Amino acid sequence: MFKKILIANRGEIALRIIRACRELGVPTVAVYSEADIDSLHVRFADEAVCIGPAKSAESYLDPKRIIAAAEITGAVAIHPGYGFLSENAAFAQICKECGITFIGPSPEVIRLLGDKVQAKQTMIKAGVPVVPGSDGGIADIDEALKVIAEIGYPVILKAAAGGGGRGMRIVKQASELESAFRTAQMEAQAAFSNPEIYLERFVDRPRHVEFQILADNHGNVIHLGERDCTVQRRHQKLIEESPSPVMTPELRQKMGAAAVAGAKFAGYQNAGTIEFLVDGSGDFYFMEMNTRVQVEHPVTEEVTDIDIIVEQLRIAGGEKLSFTQEQVIFSGYAIECRINAENPDKNFAPSPGQITSFHVPGGHGVRVDTHAYAKYVVPPHYDSMIAKLIVKDKNRQDGLRKMLRALDEFVVEGIFTTIDFQKKIIADPVFQSGMFDTSFVEDYFKRSKEGAQNKDKVV
């Protein structure tokens, strides 16, 4: 195992990684910005290095400062967590050149899968189902029209360098194509310095179902089942659960095999996630592959009893996976609610500031991953997520009741949070039914508005 690991991140994920290192007996180095001096990751780590001012670009996003901290402290490996430099191929390359192990896949694989056009072509070669569309990037309107002649409207334009829903445009009819194509190209250039656009048939009202992959450096690739992340608002996940309400043993077998085949073909190493769209008929299509550990990884840990961060460290240290696909046993049901410092009544505007009181739920099957505490000041500079509440139970019905109970126990005062909003979603009959799609949150707001208008009406 590694002599010392640097965690190039902050917040709950930094704590999560420090905990795994502790259990493995690996000394840790935290890095922090001036805004994070009172953060728990600074106190939990064996050593901590201030790497710059609050601004991410001058601290957590600056490879030079992270590498300098690793060299000064003698860290031999870097865990990037999620966000920040976690999917930055150039950073992974710099680590390699400095003789530091980047805990993740190779720079080449990060670069390949970061380009959504190349990722899709890789999956086609691996035999993974993809949404019908352009073979690669489309250079102009004529090329787009040729593809549309084959697949028909509606279509979706996506940026090759995009991902996570950024830089997408839906085109419902021919009259919209020209302007949509030009704006998509301009936005892609502005946002990602790469104007390349590709085109797909638009899958109406899909679900988001992703598979967790583990791949060692010896050619062994397995999956840890799925997470259903269909409940999102503006491409921000709010709730993740496993098993998916739409999953069957046969579909899990098919999607899992596709995910493993895709990861193998890409030469994937370490932990990763393959995202699929699932349509109303249960057909699934590759969307993108995330080359980092994800926020929602605890959901999978709860249903498989596998510590994904520990596995990441072992894999990066060159160990073989210690279990086979057949030895992965799925048990029960787990769900995660993301608790954000946001005001749902002000369009989810960030609500930084001091937490005056903080009480976390507990009891059987309840897990809270958080860096927050009473009197902690949520800085305005970073992501607004302050806690993840994960519960585990025998089945979805019991899990949802436990989640409601746990949300009821959760007290955060001094700032606005999404706790009450999460309670309303969990209690919502459509959510409870399990039969919903990616428009769920939008539909939920429409329904609650109509409900408010109709409250004085005699029906």
Catalytic residue set: 292
Measured from the CB atom, is 79 or 201 closer to ligand MV4? 201
State residue 171 phi and psi, 5-degree precision: -120, 115
Report d(CA 11, CA 355) in Å as an integer.
15
Please report how close the Cβ of residue 452 comes to ligand MV4 at its closest, in angstroms.
25
206 binds ligand MV4 (CB under 6 A): yes
What would the x/- binding string for ligand MV4 be over residues 276 to 305, using CB under 6 A? -x---------xx-----------------
172 binds ligand MV4 (CB under 6 A): no
Report d(CA 96, CA 91) in Å as an integer.
9
Three-class DSSP category at 31: strand
Please report how close the Cβ of residue 170 comes to ligand MV4 at its closest, in angstroms.
8
Among 19-27, 195-203, 210-218, 308-316, which window interacts with ligand MV4 (CB under 6 A)? 195-203
Report d(CA 116, CA 450) in Å as an integer.
39
From candidates 15, 156, 295, 337, binder to ligand MV4 by CB under 6 A: 156
> 317 with 269: CB under 8 angstroms?
no
> 246 with 207: CB under 8 angstroms?
yes
Please report how close the Cβ of residue 146 comes to ligand MV4 at its closest, in angstroms.
18
Among 52-60, 84-92, 198-206, 313-321, which window interacts with ligand MV4 (CB under 6 A)? 198-206
The DSSP element (H or E) to which 385 belongs, if any, is strand 385-393
From candidates 27, 165, 267, 332, binder to ligand MV4 by CB under 6 A: 165
Interface positions, 332-371, toward ligand MV4 (CB under 6 A): none
154 binds ligand MV4 (CB under 6 A): no
Please report how close the Cβ of residue 387 comes to ligand MV4 at its closest, in angstroms.
22
137 binds ligand MV4 (CB under 6 A): no
The burial class, CB within 10 Å (0-12 / 13-18 / 19+), for 51 is buried
From candidates 115, 200, 240, 296, binder to ligand MV4 by CB under 6 A: 200
Please report how close the Cβ of residue 149 comes to ligand MV4 at its closest, in angstroms.
17
End-to-end CA separation in angstroms for the chain: 68
Residues of 179-205 as b/e, b for ≥16 C-beta within 10 angstroms? ebbeebbebbbeebeebbbbbbbbbee
Tokens coding 235: 């491409």
Binding site for ligand MV4 (CB under 6 A): 131, 156, 164-165, 200-203, 206, 208, 232, 235, 277, 287-288, 438
